[in-house]
Amino acid sequence: MQALKGTHDILPEEMYKWDYMEGVIRDVCARYGYKEIRTPIIEATELFQRGIGDTTDVVTKEMYTFTDRGGRSVTLRPENTASAVRAYLEHKMYGDQQVHKMFYIGSMFRYDRPQAGRYREFHQFGLEVLGASSPLADAEVIAMACEIFHRLGLKDLDLHLNSIGDKNCRPAYRKKLIEFFEAKKDQLCDDCKERLYKNPLRILDCKEEGCKRASVGAPEITDYLCDDCRAKFDAVKKYLDALGISYTVDPRLVRGLDYYTNTAFEIQYPPLGAQSAVCGGGRYDGLVEEIGGPSTPGIGFAIGLERLLLALEMQHLIPEPKAKKHVYIAALGEEAVAEGFKIQEELRRLGVLADMDLQGRSLKGQMKQSGKLGSQFTVIIGSNELEKGAAAVKNMADSSQKDIPFGEVASYIAKEEQDSK
């Protein structure tokens, strides 16, 4: 048996990389006042149809959807924004009129072609800010993403920024875009031919070469922004300038769903090649309403952790884990093992990493195993030690050895470890 295509195991010896990434992320979240939310991996399919949009590739091609035993259509979550908004509504978090800042880390599922840093089950960190309409919230979210990458030591990142307007000014742009692509309809891929009248902004984001060529010279959304949207965009740029965060205004960067408004951004790491985006986000002031709640402003972003890990490995930015000081208890005979087992638990309660043999090795084999583990101390208990009521505690660094009464072994070693720090 093997893991399904597009899924992968994260083995114990690799977990320190994930722990490091997530540790930095959690620390930054705490400093910015974000609290963790955990949502179910499965949701009603309708949530994503309404929340993501039924014209997107995610909904039409990539979702893992099935009928459960109760006859309900359920879906493994392909992203977490819709789930976070569902939780926000279900628990009436909007009732306190506060700004809610949430983050999440977890598995998402999309049926897609597996490639470097891209899996069918992938891990994502994301955050959502609900209830804040100020451009300052947009700038803070972007600054926070940049701070995470900065704390991780990533360099050579490109921030792309755009405004996609709102329901007041986007219809005029949408009309111009349809007119532009109607003349080039025969150059579009089949998907984009369908998108033309439903969601023409998505054509600008298509990766097919024919669509890329067809979109050269397409109208730019920034030329159609209303005064209010332009002012908001200028404010976001002003706040980013104040922090010294460099960016490129990219009129082709879109979030093609109707409920997305104003700010859209993406952070890219070019060495990753075609899949260079390591972070994407935007404002979605229409999403809460679309799912059935009151009109509520929102903005967020998501980071694919597999891609982030690739970027960190490329720049050798993941520190090796610090080796923990280790104590090994070598015991021979049932009575000795019982005494050693007691000492082992006492050590662990004092915060000391301690192990015993679980394979029935000889005393010589246990001593050899202690050396392989790089133990700082080996606690030896045999018939002689049982007679004396004291264990032989061997310092593996200099081979010195002391007899310590059984009841004092744990405290002795804990003190020795503390004194050596």
- Quote the pLDDT of residue 257: 66
DSSP secondary structure string, 171-194?
HHHHHHHHHHHHTTGGGS-HHHHH
Give the separation between CA 123 and CA 52, rounded to whole angstroms. Answer: 18
Q: Cβ(391)–Cβ(380) under 8 Å? A: yes
Nearest Cα to 347, choosing from 410, 400, 289?
A: 410
Residue 113: its pLDDT value, please? 81
Say what the pLDDT of residue 135 is.
97
- Spatial distance between the Cα atoms of 47 and 70, rounded to a whole number of angstroms: 18
pLDDT of residue 275: 75
**Quick one: pLDDT at residue 337?**
96
d(CA 157, CA 179): 35
Judge residue 349's burial from the number of C-beta atoms within 10 Å of its C-beta, 0-12 exposed, 13-18 middle, 19 or more buried: exposed
Question: pLDDT tens digits, the chain, 421 residues: what are they?
Answer: 999 999 999 999 999 999 999 999 999 999 999 999 999 999 999 999 887 776 677 777 889 999 999 999 999 999 999 999 999 999 999 988 899 999 999 999 999 887 777 789 999 999 999 999 999 999 999 999 999 999 999 988 999 999 999 989 989 999 999 999 999 999 999 889 988 888 888 898 888 889 989 999 999 999 999 999 999 999 999 999 999 999 999 998 987 666 789 999 999 998 887 778 899 999 999 899 989 999 999 999 999 999 999 999 999 999 998 878 899 999 999 999 999 999 999 999 999 999 999 999 999 999 999 999 999 999 999 999 999 999 999 999 899 999 999 999 999 999 988 877 6
Give the pLDDT score at 11.
96
d(CA 257, CA 284): 9
pLDDT the model gives residue 73:
96
Q: Look at the alpha carbons of 145, 146, 150, 155 in this order and tell me if their dihedral is positive or negative.
A: positive
Give the count of alpha carbons within 13 A of 19, CB side only. Answer: 10
Cross-strand partners of 298? 130
* Whole-prediction pTM: 0.88
What is the rounded CA–CA span in Å between residue 267 and residue 245?
12
Supply the pLDDT for residue 166. 92
